[in-house]
Amino acid sequence: MSHILLGVSASVSLYKACDLASKLTQAGHSVRAVLTPRAAELVSPQLFEAVSGEPAHTDEFDATRRGAMDHIDLARWAEVLVVAPASADLIGRLANGLAGDLVATAALAVPADRPRLLAPAMNPAMWAQPAVQRNVARLVEDGWRLVEPGEGHHACGDAGRGRLAEPADIQRRVEEALAS
């Protein structure tokens, strides 16, 4: 059983992250989800707890967490980090070493020699933006493994590249990373 830290940001595709957490759990892994505050507005962390049987996190500054440092504990616990879906904004934060929320802080605390996977999800025009492509390229240079977004229909009505990779494909990449 491997320890998988799943970072989740606020994308319409985050329902697929629940499926990913479920698939990885059914495969025998221990999955802890960390949601950005915006992601936690779209879906309750409780859903991730229900499918994984593990605690899900979103804020380490609430009163019940005094004395704890979730970002360090989670980073030490993680054998692999997968950020899925990765929003344009979170990608920008990660590419710049910013640590303003628990997902970004925990990601920064995961040592760079441990597998870190990035599965972006966004509208095709956003994905095509030079600024987004620059940030993704920088993360790949820094050793992150990119799980390329797919092409097709988006919830906003547009079509093109930017759809979150399918959960089964992200799972395969996670398994490959664990085996490497």
- Total of residues contacting ligand FMN (CB under 6 A): 16
Amino acid making up residue 58: T
- Please indicate whether residue 156 is annotated as part of the active site: yes
Q: Which residue has the tokens 């097709």?
A: 152
CA distance 80 to 2: 8
3-class SS of residue 144: coil
Query: Does residue 9 interact with ligand FMN by CB under 6 A?
Result: yes
**Catalytic-role residue among 156, 158, 172, 176:** 156
Binding ligand FMN (rule: CB under 6 A), the pick from 88, 95, 136, 174 is: 88
CA distance 90 to 93: 5
Query: Does residue 74 interact with ligand FMN by CB under 6 A?
Result: no
Nearer to ligand FMN, 15 or 178 (CB): 15
Q: List, by residue number, the catalytic residues.
A: 156
Which residues of this chain interact with ligand FMN, rule CB under 6 A? 9-13, 36, 38-39, 87-90, 101, 121-122, 126
